[in-house]
Amino acid sequence: MHNTLRIATFNIHKGVTSFNARLVLRQQRELIRRVQADIVFLQEVRGEHARHQRLHPGSQHEYLADEVWQDSAYGKNAVYPAGHHGNAVLSKYPIALWENVDISASPAEQRGMLHCEIAIPGWEQHLHCICVHLGLFARWRRQQIMLLRERIEMLVPEHAPLIIAGDFNDWRMQAGRTLADGLHLKEVFEHTAGKSARSFPAILPLFRLDRIYTRGFHTLNVEVHSGAAFAKVSDHAALSATITRL
């Protein structure tokens, strides 16, 4: 039975450098592989882009998953003339069910949450994984957190294992507290280090934007993947955690 999992979250900035100067998807794939996660939560993933099709045919999440993660899911959120982008989950275990839910709080900003149920060998219940990228304004985030809570209360059994991860854009640390207190979730960095991780900007992280919340797990260790290598491929650091079932 696989009671211990390594998970990671990473905003890949549509596979391009911070100022959209060049495509760095191959470098991102190598860095993500080095983290050695069983399940990866990704934000700002391009499902299609006309200009990049020649270099990387197909969707970015399929290219990133390649031969390492046997299953993946992608939720299209933002649509524009050249293509679209959204959230993705890569998994070494089968994704039994998945659904992408529109949580846009304004026509100016298209956001979604990608809810996957993953079949871990030997587990009686599916692992529920929700990948999110919340809005830039606090009032939008509050609305999106309420939609997230409603979905969990309605569709995730109380004793089912649950992971929520992604880019919360919650530098004021308000949305996260609402989520944790209401749903009995623990943020893995807060649980082990007392505070959520600094993850933005990647070169020298100052702001605590990215999070990993769990329910039904104990956190064994956590890590921020930042510095020069990650700054070359995204404006966000990647976060990872090793967790085990309670």
CATH code for position 149: 3.60.10.10
pLDDT of residue 60: 83
Residue length of the chain: 246
Q: What is the pLDDT of residue 115?
A: 97
User: In the prediction, which pLDDT does 18 show?
Assistant: 57
- Name the phi and psi angles at 205, rounded to 5: -60, 130
Return mean pLDDT, the chain. Answer: 86
Counted domains in the chain:
1
pLDDT mean over 216-244:
90
User: Which are the contacts of 127, defined by CB distance < 8 A and separation ≥ 6?
Assistant: 5, 93, 117, 118, 119, 120, 160, 161, 162, 163
Write down the pLDDT at residue 136.
80
Residue-wise pLDDT tens digits, 90-141: 999 999 999 998 888 778 788 889 999 999 999 999 999 999 998 787 788 8
Q: Identify the three-state secondary structure at position 50.
A: helix
Q: What is the pTM of this model?
A: 0.91
- Work out the percent of the chain whose per-residue pLDDT is above 70: 88
Residue ranges making up the domain that contains 210: 4-245
Strand partners, 240: 8, 223
Q: Which is more confident, 205 or 77? A: 205
Report, as an integer, the average pLDDT of 208-227. Answer: 93
Rg (alpha carbons) of the chain, rounded to whole number: 17
pLDDT of residue 128: 98
